[in-house]
């Protein structure tokens, strides 16, 4: 990009942020000749001219320009950002329900990036990539030291373009080469849905809010209703958010017609926009919503609307607290930026956004993400007190008030329940996930992967019957008798960790946490045989937050019934 071209990008960007530095509100005009933004623009132009004319070396205007724009935006808030041409294209693609690539789930382990599972119906699945395949080359380039994002970037590309991957597979005498034609890879918002038990359905809405989210939810619930669903657990954990329009449509499938879903407020008091359910009649069965510290933005809008209207109970951990509204601006040369223009508020007026003015942006992002990255892990049954389930006509009061000192004002919601604004959605029942961040369990996680990789490849003596078919068997879920974790298998795992000392795991550590070892081995076996969806479903069977959600479904039913009758929950 030339200095003149970059200067035009800066000029457009400065106009875009004039609302924040020069007082542009609503339809009021901004005088670029006399306003503060004009001063900034003139100063920048002079600085750029001086640098261009006098700097000792060649100037990378692309790099300098991106840094200048991002530096300006970083003084505003954590979510106003500049995107280069390639980054902007990916941002727009992320709002769709698919991308172009080969369709494979990968994870970095100690000595490289490995395949966890191909995605059903994709080039990787058709080619026969499978659990435990180590990616060592991509198009002739050594990938053994690459990170997961580096491998992901290398295998993505234009639809119809070819990519050649060299892999090492347990049980194969020589490396294998796969040449795949990149194609459309589905990226659904709902990664799984099924019946947890008779009458209780589960929908895992973890893939963000894209253009198809509401339709996906309608289809999933329709299919579960045909299977006898009368109660629902909606899982919004790890959902990073997305399109506001889809959050409104999703909420409208549960919140009464005509009721408020969310309001948006900018700098101008007259800029308030209110969004209600104007779509249709919602479903009325008992509902529990699962959230955690990575539940953010659009998913918080859904959880907040359901909680404010007492439509259901919320279980898990306090959500991330991302309540800033971004507008996307197109810039010249394919670049773009997202600029915060307003705040989200729940139906009764709770501010979702948590504070970011004190401390660094790093602390802002890592406060709720301090345990990331971590693989999805199972839990154990919770030891929390059982819910207070009274007769259907009784008045009950769930305990929504957070244990910590509130940071925002008290807000009285439907039925007189009190919550606090100031950041995130506080669950009605707080339930912590199983702690998997201990060094011992991290070692178990790694050792289990390498053991099952060999087991699935028929490389563990005496357990050749665990050798899996070359192709992942999608659409199946194992019966209890399938792929059992037997005493003989555990003994083989003990022998394996004696030989494979790279992870620092010993037999004594295996025996001290045997239940967790069995769960890890079973999850890896199920994933290897049937794919990541089946593995995730297995882990949910012992998830403490999900188990608690099932326990409080009767209370959720009573809560909604009492509020619909106008009963105060004091």
Query: What was the pLDDT predicted at 55?
Result: 85
Contact 521, 447 (CB under 8 A): no
Mean pLDDT (the chain) is 83
Which two three-digit tokens encode residue 368?
A: 């709720």
Distance of alpha carbon 37 from its chain centroid, rounded?
Answer: 37
Per residue in 462-512, pLDDT tens?
999 999 987 899 988 888 889 999 999 999 999 999 999 998 999 999 999
Contact 534, 194 (CB under 8 A): no
Per residue in 358-398, pLDDT tens?
555 445 545 444 333 333 333 322 222 222 322 222 323 33
pLDDT category of residue 10 using cuts at 50, 70 and 90: very low
Name the least confident of 112-126, 270-284, 389-403, 452-466: 389-403
In sign, the C-alpha dihedral spanning 143, 147, 148, 151 is negative
Name the least confident of 132-141, 196-205, 500-509: 500-509
Cis peptide before 373 (omega within 30 of 0): yes
DSSP state letters, 467-478: PPPSS--TT---
Separation between Cα atoms, residue 123 and residue 101, nearest integer Å: 8
Which residues participate in catalysis according to the annotation?
297, 308, 322
The number of beta carbons lying within 10 Å of the beta carbon of residue 254 is: 26
167, containing H or E segment: strand 162-168
Query: What was the pLDDT predicted at 356?
Result: 64
Domains of the chain: 3-76 (no CATH), 98-186 (2.30.42.10), 190-330+339-375+396-433 (3.90.226.10), 439-542 (no CATH)
Answer with the residue of higher pLDDT: 387 or 528: 528
Separation between Cα atoms, residue 335 and residue 358, nearest integer Å: 30
Contact 505, 493 (CB under 8 A): no
Is the per-residue pLDDT at 418 higher than 50? yes
Q: Specify the pairing of strand 162-168 against strand 134-138.
A: antiparallel
pLDDT category of residue 72 using cuts at 50, 70 and 90: confident
Per residue in 295-313, pLDDT tens?
999 999 999 999 999 999 9
């Amino acid at each position: 990009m030339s200095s003149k071209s970059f200067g035009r990008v800066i000029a457009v960007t400065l106009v875009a942020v004039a609302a924040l530095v020069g007082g542009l509100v609503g339809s009021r005009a901004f005088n670029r000749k006399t306003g503060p933004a004009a001063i900034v623009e003139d100063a920048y132009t002079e600085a750029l001219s001086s640098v261009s004319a006098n700097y000792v070396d060649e100037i990378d205007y692309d790099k300098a320009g991106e840094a200048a724009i991002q530096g300006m935006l970083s003084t505003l808030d954590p979510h106003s950002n500049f995107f280069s041409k390639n980054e902007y294209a990916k941002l727009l693609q992320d709002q769709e329900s698919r991308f172009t690539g080969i369709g494979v789930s990968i994870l970095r382990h100690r000595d490289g990036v490995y395949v966890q599972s191909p995605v059903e119906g994709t080039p990787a699945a058709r080619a026969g990539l499978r659990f435990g395949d180590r990616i060592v080359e991509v198009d002739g380039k050594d990938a053994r030291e690459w990170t997961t994002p580096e491998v992901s970037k290398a295998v993505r590309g234009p639809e119809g373009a070819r990519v050649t991957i060299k892999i090492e597979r347990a049980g194969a005498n020589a490396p294998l080469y796969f040449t795949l034609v990149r194609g459309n890879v589905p990226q659904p918002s709902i990664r799984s849905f099924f019946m947890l038990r008779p009458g209780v359905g589960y929908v895992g809405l973890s893939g963000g809010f894209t253009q198809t989210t509401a339709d996906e939810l309608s289809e999933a619930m329709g299919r579960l209703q045909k299977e006898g669903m009368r109660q629902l657990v909606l899982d919004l954990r790890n959902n990073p958010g997305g399109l506001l329009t889809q959050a409104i449509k999703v909420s409208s499938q549960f919140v009464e017609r005509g009721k408020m879903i969310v309001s948006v407020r900018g700098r101008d008091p007259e800029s308030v926009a209110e969004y209600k359910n104007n779509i249709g009649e919602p479903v009325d069965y008992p509902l529990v919503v699962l959230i955690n510290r990575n539940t953010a933005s659009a998913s918080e809008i859904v959880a907040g609307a359901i909680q404010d209207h007492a439509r259901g109970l919320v279980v898990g951990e306090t959500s991330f607290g991302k309540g800033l509204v971004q507008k996307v601006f197109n810039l010249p040369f394919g670049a773009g930026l997202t600029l915060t223009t307003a705040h989200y508020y729940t139906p009764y007026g709770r501010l979702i956004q948590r504070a970011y003015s004190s401390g660094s942006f790093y602390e802002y992002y890592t406060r709720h993400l301090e345990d990331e990255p971590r693989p999805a892990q199972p839990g154990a049954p919770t030891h929390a007190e059982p819910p207070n389930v009274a007769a259907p006509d009784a008045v009950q009061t769930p305990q929504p008030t957070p244990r910590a000192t509130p940071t925002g004002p008290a807000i009285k919601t439907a039925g007189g329940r009190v919550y606090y604004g100031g950041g995130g959605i506080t669950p009605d029942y707080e339930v912590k996930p199983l702690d998997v961040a201990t060094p011992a369990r991290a070692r178990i996680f790694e050792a289990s992967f390498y053991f099952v990789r060999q087991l699935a490849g028929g490389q563990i003596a005496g357990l050749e019957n665990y050798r899996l078919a070359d192709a992942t068997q999608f659409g199946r879920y194992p019966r209890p008798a399938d792929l059992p974790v037997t005493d003989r298998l555990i003994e083989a795992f003990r022998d394996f960790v004696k030989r494979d000392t790279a992870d620092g795991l010993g037999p004594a550590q295996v025996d001290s946490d045997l239940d967790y070892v069995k769960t890890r081995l079973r999850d890896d076996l199920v994933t290897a045989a049937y794919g990541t969806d089946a593995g995730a479903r297995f882990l949910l069977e012992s998830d403490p937050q999900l188990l608690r959600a099932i326990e409080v479904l009767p209370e959720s039913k009573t809560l909604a019934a009492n509020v619909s009758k106008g009963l105060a929950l004091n």
